[in-house]
Amino acid sequence: MPKATLPTLDDVSVSRQPKSIFRNRNFILLWCAYTASALGDHLSEMAILHMQDATNRGDSTRISAIMLFSFMLPYFVLGPVMGWLADRLPRKWIMVSADLIRAVFMFTLVGLFSLLFNAYAGTDWAAQLATTDEFPKLNPWIYAMPLLITGIFAAMFSPSRAAMLPNLIRQDQIVRGNGLMNAMGPIASIASFLIGAKIIEAYHHDGPRISFIADGATFLLSAVLVLFIVPPPAKVLARTQTKQKQSLIDGFRYCRTHRRVVELIAFTVIFWSAASAVRSVIPAIVGHLGDIGYFQKGDVEKIGYFNAALGIGMLFGAMIVAYLGDALKSELTISWSLIGAGICVGWLATVWWLEMSQFGNYVGLFVTGMFGSGVLVSANALLQKTVPDFFRGRVFGVKDVLSMGGLLLATGFLGIPEWENIDRYVPWILTIVGLALFSSGAVATVARLKRGRFGTILTFWKNLNDFYCWFWSRTRREGVCTIPIDGPVIVAANHNSTLDPFVLGATSPNRVPGYMIAVEYARIPIFRRLVEAVECVPVNRSGVDTASVKAALRHLAAGKLLGIFPQGRVQNPAETPKVREGVGMLALRSGATVIPAYISGIKYSDSVVGPLLKRHHAVVRYGPPVDLSRWKDREKDRDIYREVAEHIMGRIMALKPKDGHVVP
Domains of the chain and any CATH numbers: 23-234+246-451 (1.20.1250.20), 456-662 (no CATH)
Average pLDDT, the chain: 79
Q: How many angstroms separate the CA atoms of 305 and 115, rounded? A: 32
219 or 58: which leads in pLDDT: 219
For residue 327, which amino acid is it?
A
**Is 184 a residue whose pLDDT tops 50?**
yes
pLDDT score of 128 more than 60: no
Question: What is each CA distance from 319 to 60, 284, 466, in whole angstroms?
Answer: 32, 30, 20
HEC string of 205-260?
A: HHHHHHHHHHHHHHHHHHHHHHHCCCCCCHHHHHHHCCCCCCCHHHHHHHHHCCHH
Question: Which range in 98-102, 244-248, 318-322, 382-386 is most confidently predicted, on average pLDDT?
Answer: 98-102
C-alpha 630, offset from chain centre: 51
129-180 residue pLDDT tens: 555 556 666 677 877 888 888 889 988 988 888 888 888 888 777 877 877 7
Instruction: Identify the weakest region by mean pLDDT among 257-271, 419-433, 445-459, 518-532.
Output: 518-532
**pLDDT (tens digit per residue) in 585-599:** 888 888 899 999 999
| Cα gap 125→123, rounded to integer Å | 6
> Which one-letter amino acid corresponds to residue 492?
A
Evaluate if residue 527 carries a pLDDT over 80: no
325 Rama class: left (phi>0) / alpha (psi -120 to 50) / beta: left
Q: Report the C-alpha gap between 528 and 328 in whole angstroms.
A: 25
**Taking the CA atoms of the chain, what radius of gyration do you get in angstroms?**
30
Distance CA 91, CA 162 (A): 10
The reported pLDDT for the residue numbered 272 is 84
Count of all residues that appear for the chain in the document: 664
Signed CA dihedral, 11, 449, 316, 272: sign only: positive
pLDDT at 6: 37
Given a cut of 60, is residue 653 above it in pLDDT? yes
pLDDT tens figures, 561-579: 999 988 878 877 777 778 8
Least confident of 159-173, 288-302, 388-402, 601-615: 288-302
Please report, rounded to a whole number, the percentage of residues in the chain having pLDDT higher than 70.
84
Alpha carbon distance 274, 433 (integer Å): 6
On the question of pLDDT at 213 being above 50, the answer is yes
Instruction: Check residue 11 and give its pLDDT.
Output: 41
- Tell me the C-alpha distance between 374 and 344, whole Å: 14
User: Would you call 624 exposed, middle or buried from its count of C-beta atoms within 10 A (0-12, 13-18, 19+)?
Assistant: exposed
What pLDDT, in 10s, does the model give residues 612-638? 888 888 999 999 999 988 888 777 777
